[in-house]
């Protein structure tokens, strides 16, 4: 059984979106390594030899595109934090309010563009694929900016803002409509004094699959929900075969993503963290590069002098 499988079995009750690592769980990642290096030349030597690169990304990589993170101080929509709205219970109690929140997020994202970090990852994937090398992105983000940048090998463990799932028939479909339904046009203002639109359920997004007409919900993993086992299996495979792992713009405190890179590091694979500041997992990694991902990542993933481009 691989290291990831072993950890996953032990932590199975915690493999739900939004759960944070407790101090006792953190100890299970094993002994801490020496203080990580910030030597870019050393990282570039490792990068030049890697055949299977896994890149784990979080909210920090999209923050530089102006995407609201809804975490920490000020992370409110009206008077609620995302954790209060992104739950099955909140949707059951008030689907109109939850859809206003997600409609707002969708409309915001339609105006955002990939930043240099997204582009560097996509260009690296395209370039290395011609050399028989692979780059796979495992993202916690639901904004599709990696996809916009051109990334092909992408595992979205928390789903996508631009997919819907029917609460009746379960059909999942891509949806880029703006607005997603007529009743939500002009709705979703984030100002604290804005009143709920109180849209009737029958006017909210409805399933068009074979006349189902069931209520649609965003196809995202809400707090307390289990992640898609198929996606987790694909993630497990990539973590098992990678010979270099990058952790980009993530706090490394939310399960299950918080355990991905430490488990890779535990089997001796180099891990490089690119983040504004150290995280609880930093000392378990070989490299740490502080600063904005859009500044630190492009030179890290640029063509190495030893690469042969045909």
Whole-angstrom Cα distance, residue 80 to residue 84? 6
Whole-angstrom Cα distance, residue 182 to residue 165? 18
DSSP E strands: which ranges in 35-185?
A: 52-57, 76-77, 80-81, 134-139, 154-156, 159-166, 172-174
Partners of 245 in the β-ladder: 54, 271
- Tell which residue, 218, 223, 149, has the closest CA to residue 188: 218
Half-sphere exposure of 61 toward its Cβ, with a 13 Å CA cutoff? Answer: 31
Position 166 pLDDT exceeds 70: yes
CATH class (in words) of the domain with range 71-111+159-220: alpha beta
Let me know if 108 is exposed, middle or buried by CB neighbors in 10 A (0-12, 13-18, 19+).
middle
The mean per-residue pLDDT over the stretch 224-238 comes to 95
**Prediction pTM value:** 0.89
Residue 240 pLDDT level (bands cut at 50, 70, 90): very high
Position 17 pLDDT exceeds 70: no
Residue 27 pLDDT level (bands cut at 50, 70, 90): very low
Residues annotated within the binding site for substrate are: 102, 105
Cβ pair 269, 245 in contact under 8 A: yes
Percentage of the chain lying above the pLDDT 90 cut: 79
Position 142 pLDDT exceeds 50: yes
Catalytic residues: 158
The alpha carbon of residue 37 and the mean position of all alpha carbons in its chain are separated, in whole angstroms, by 25
Percentage of the chain lying above the pLDDT 70 cut: 87
Cβ pair 99, 198 in contact under 8 A: no
The mean per-residue pLDDT over the stretch 143-168 comes to 98
Residues annotated within the binding site are: 58-77, 102, 105, 140-143, 166, 169, 207, 212, 249-251, 275-277, 293
Residue 15 pLDDT level (bands cut at 50, 70, 90): low
Q: What is the pLDDT of residue 6?
A: 46
Three-state secondary structure string covering 2-33: CHHHHHHHHCHHHCECCCECCHHHHHHHCCCC
Lowest mean pLDDT among 75-79, 128-132, 213-217, 228-232: 75-79
Give the dihedral of Cα atoms 16, 21, 22, 25; nearest 10 deg. 90
Q: What is the pLDDT of residue 74?
A: 57
Residues in the chain: 310
Q: What is the pLDDT of residue 254?
A: 78
Position 152 pLDDT exceeds 60: yes
pLDDT digits (tens, 9 = 90+) for 249-290: 998 887 888 899 999 999 999 999 999 999 999 999 999 999
Half-sphere exposure of 77 toward its Cβ, with a 13 Å CA cutoff? Answer: 24
The mean per-residue pLDDT over the stretch 38-53 comes to 98
Domain(s) of CATH 3.40.50.1220: residues in the chain: 39-67+114-158+227-304
Element (H, E) at 219: strand 216-220
Q: What CATH fold (topology level) applies to the domain 39-67+114-158+227-304? A: Rossmann fold (3.40.50)
Domain(s) of CATH 3.30.1600.10: residues in the chain: 71-111+159-220
Position 200 pLDDT exceeds 90: yes
CA distances from 285 to 46, 137, 167 (A): 14, 18, 41
Q: What is the pLDDT of residue 54?
A: 98
Residues annotated within the binding site for Zn(2+) are: 166, 169, 207, 212
Which long-range contacts (C-beta less than 8 Å, at least 24 apart) are formed by 77-85? 77/101, 77/104, 77/190, 78/190, 78/191, 78/192, 78/194, 79/192, 83/18, 83/223
Q: What is the pLDDT of residue 2?
A: 47
Rounded to 5 degrees, φ, ψ at 199 are -75, 130
pLDDT digits (tens, 9 = 90+) for 52-89: 999 999 999 999 999 876 655 557 899 998 889 999 99
Using only C-alpha atoms, the chain has a radius of gyration, in whole angstroms, of: 20
Residues annotated within the binding site for NAD(+) are: 58-77, 140-143, 249-251, 275-277, 293
Q: What does the block give as tokens for 78?
A: 């009206």
């Amino acid at each position: 059984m691989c290291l990831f499988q072993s950890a996953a079995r032990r932590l199975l009750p915690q493999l739900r979106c939004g759960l944070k690592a407790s101090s006792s769980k953190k100890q299970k990642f094993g002994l801490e390594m020496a203080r990580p290096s910030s030597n870019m030349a050393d990282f570039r030597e490792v990068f030049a030899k890697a055949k299977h690169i896994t890149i784990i990304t979080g909210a920090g990589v999209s923050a530089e595109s102006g995407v609201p993170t809804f975490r920490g101080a000020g992370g409110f929509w009206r008077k609620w934090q995302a954790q209060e709205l992104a739950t099955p219970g909140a949707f059951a109690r008030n689907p109109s309010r939850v859809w206003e929140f997600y409609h707002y997020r969708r409309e915001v994202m339609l105006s955002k563009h990939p930043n240099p970090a997204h582009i560097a990852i996509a260009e690296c994937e395209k370039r290395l694929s011609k050399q028989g090398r692979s780059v796979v992105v495992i993202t916690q983000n639901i904004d599709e900016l990696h996809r916009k940048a051109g990334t092909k090998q992408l595992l979205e463990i928390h789903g996508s803002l631009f997919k819907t799932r029917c609460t009746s028939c379960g059909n999942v479909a891509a949806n880029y409509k703006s607005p997603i339904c007529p009743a939500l046009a002009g709705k979703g203002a984030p100002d604290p004094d804005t009143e709920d639109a109180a849209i009737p359920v029958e006017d909210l997004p409805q399933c068009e699959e074979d006349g189902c007409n069931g209520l649609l919900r965003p196809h995202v993993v809400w707090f307390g929900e289990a992640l898609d086992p198929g996606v987790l299996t694909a993630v497990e495979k990539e973590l098992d075969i990678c010979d270099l792992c990058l952790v980009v713009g993530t706090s490394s405190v939310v399960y299950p993503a918080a355990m991905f890179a430490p488990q890779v590091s535990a089997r001796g694979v180099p891990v490089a963290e690119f983040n504004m500041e150290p995280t609880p997992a930093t000392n378990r990694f070989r490299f740490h590069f502080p600063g904005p991902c859009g500044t630190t990542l492009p030179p890290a993933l640029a063509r190495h002098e030893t690469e042969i481009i045909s």
